[in-house]
Each structure stands twice: as structure tokens, then as C-alpha cells.
């Protein structure tokens, strides 16, 4: 199975506020994943990676909004840059991710060889400002896109 415990960016812990992990130690369900420096370098065989965002039951309030970006950095606690983004879930989304039902998204992206750490930056907008609590999973996989 391509998704194991070491490739879980967010483990389904209920989210009540923005999550910006800066450690390999899991906190509030999120962690940074060390993919090793140069993993995407020429000759490594890695063409790109995939990330999967699972919203198992939709949003409790479809007026809320969730934006999830895949970010990378050379150091675990440095300045991360966004390298890929999922479609928003909720109020600012396309109809297919309106938050009214469960959804799954898969994105494919490349990683600059200078970056070693990957994280999921989860940004929520709580319409009422006090009731947001949602479950999401964000998984990382390099396996589908290796050069054979």
C-alpha cells in the first residue's frame, strides 16, 4: 500500500484552527515529512509525487471554507513555499467541492531538489468564527510516478 504512517501529512485529527506544522513530530494531527534532500534530482527516478486530500463527511457548515496547500522547505522549521494546492472545500469552491458531501482530491506535483521537507498547510475560514471542527486526511505518495 503506498500510503503508510510515514507519509501522512494530516492524520484525521479534527481541525479547529489553521495548521502550519514545523516539526517531524506530529502535533494536532499534522507533521512535516522528510523526503531527503535531492530526492527529485535528475537520475533519482522520481518524476513527481502525489498528495491525496480526503474529506470523509463534508463540512458541517458549507459557509465555511478550507484551503489546503502542499508546501516545501529545505529545513524543517524554515520558510515554506507552496508547491501545489487542492481545490478549496466549502464556500469559495467549485460546485464539486462545495462541502455538502464527502470528497477526495488527488494532486500531482514536482519537488525542487533543494527542498527536503513537505507539509500540508491547512487554512480554515470559519463563517461564524466559533464552530469549526472538521476531519480531513492528507496523505503523500511518491510511488505512482517513479521512472521504471
The model's pLDDT over 65-96, given as tens digits with 9 standing for 90+, comes to 999 999 999 999 999 999 999 999 998 887 67
Task: Please write the tens of the pLDDT for every residue from 93-136.
Answer: 876 788 889 999 999 888 888 888 999 999 998 887 777 889 99
CATH architecture of the region 5-145: Sandwich (2.60)
**Model's pTM, two decimal places?**
0.87
Using CA atoms, how far apart are residues 37 and 52, in angstroms rounded to an integer?
22
Closest CA to 121 of 5, 34, 15, 3: 15
Please calculate the CA angle 2-40-12 and round it to the nearest 5 degrees. 40
Angle, CA 88 vertex, CA 85 and CA 93 arms, to 5°: 135
**d(Cα 1, Cα 44) in Å, to the nearest integer?**
21
Measured distance CA(44)–CA(113) in Å, rounded: 10
In whole angstroms, what is the distance from residue 111 CA to residue 84 CA? 10
Q: What are phi and psi for residue 11, nearest 5 degrees?
A: -95, 10
Neighbouring C-beta atoms of residue 116, cutoff 10 Å: 20
Question: How is the chain split into domains, by residue range?
Answer: 5-145
Predicted pLDDT at 67? 94
Amino acid at each position: 500500500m503506498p500510503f503508510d504512517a510515514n507519509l501522512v501529512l494530516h492524520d484525521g485529527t479534527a481541525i479547529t484552527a489553521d495548521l502550519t506544522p514545523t516539526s517531524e513530530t506530529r502535533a494536532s494531527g499534522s507533521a512535516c515529512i522528510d523526503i531527503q534532500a535531492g530526492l527529485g534530482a535528475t537520475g533519482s527516478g522520481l518524476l513527481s509525487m502525489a498528495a491525496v486530500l480526503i474529506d470523509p463527511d463534508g463540512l458541517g457548515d458549507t459557509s465555511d471554507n478550507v484551503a489546503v496547500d502542499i508546501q516545501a522547505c529545505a529545513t524543517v522549521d524554515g520558510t515554506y513555499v507552496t508547491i501545489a494546492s487542492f481545490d478549496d472545500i466549502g464556500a469559495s469552491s467549485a460546485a464539486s467541492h462545495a462541502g455538502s458531501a464527502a470528497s477526495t482530491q488527488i494532486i500531482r506535483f514536482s519537488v525542487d531538489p533543494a527542498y527536503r521537507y513537505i507539509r500540508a498547510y491547512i487554512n480554515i475560514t470559519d463563517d461564524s468564527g466559533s464552530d469549526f471542527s472538521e476531519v480531513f486526511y492528507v496523505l503523500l505518495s511518491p510511488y505512482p510516478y517513479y521512472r521504471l
